[in-house]
Amino acid sequence: SPAPLSALPTRTFLRSLLFTSVMASPLLKPCLSVLKFMVDSNSMLFSPAKNPVVNYLLRRTIYDHFCAGINEREVRNTVQEMKSLGFKGVILGYARESIAKVEDVDRIQSAEEKQEALDRAVEEWRVGTLRTLGMCGRGNYLAVKYVFSFFITYWMGVESKWVTGLG
């Protein structure tokens, strides 16, 4: 019988080999620093939001390795690709790089405005998670992430109705 990894596309195998090698080496910290610099950059040269070449390179390497897609069509295609490799099902989880910018919430002075900003972020997470659930087909699973709401509540020191269940 063929080797299990023989079904994996060469590009996917090489990308996985590269990332796991970097993650298990001293190169991880400098690589993460470079990525953070690029993502936070306002420069036309380095910013993925302003430079389509940088955006393309990051999307085809890092993003595509860890994410199923940016919309429902891409997610469904990725799930089909995974199943064509022999997987019986996949685990989908809603994730967003920047659901709520903590720095923006931190600048808000009134507790009421902070609560409104955090409630909007949680509502966005809820809607995104429900949309992801809608993408789960037979044999697939939904990974529900609660860390976001608890982290924000703990970090901001805001008593929240959506965490305490009082809302």
CA-wise closest residue to 103 among 116, 119, 114:
114
**Per-residue tokens: 19:** 């990332």
Q: What 3-state DSSP class applies to 143?
A: strand
What single letter denotes the amino acid at residue 115?
Q
Cα(83)–Cα(140) distance, integer angstroms: 10
The mean pLDDT of the chain is 80
145, 94 in Cβ contact below 8 A? yes
CA-wise closest residue to 121 among 148, 99, 150:
99
CA atoms within 13 A on the CB side of 119: 13
User: Which of the two residues, 151 and 165, has the higher pLDDT score?
Assistant: 151
44-87 pLDDT tens trace: 999 998 999 999 999 888 888 888 998 899 999 999 998 988 88
Cα(13)–Cα(65) distance, integer angstroms: 10
**Which stretch of DSSP H or E encloses residue 141?**
strand 141-143
51, 38 in Cβ contact below 8 A? no
Phi, psi of 86 (to 5 degrees): 115, 0
pLDDT band at 106 (very low <50, low <70, confident <90, very high): low
pLDDT of residue 159: 47
117-147 pLDDT tens trace: 778 877 888 888 899 999 998 899 999 876 5
Query: Rounded to the nearest 10 degrees, how much is the dihedral formed by the CA atoms of 22, 24, 25, 29?
Result: 70
**Which stretch of DSSP H or E encloses residue 91?**
strand 91-93
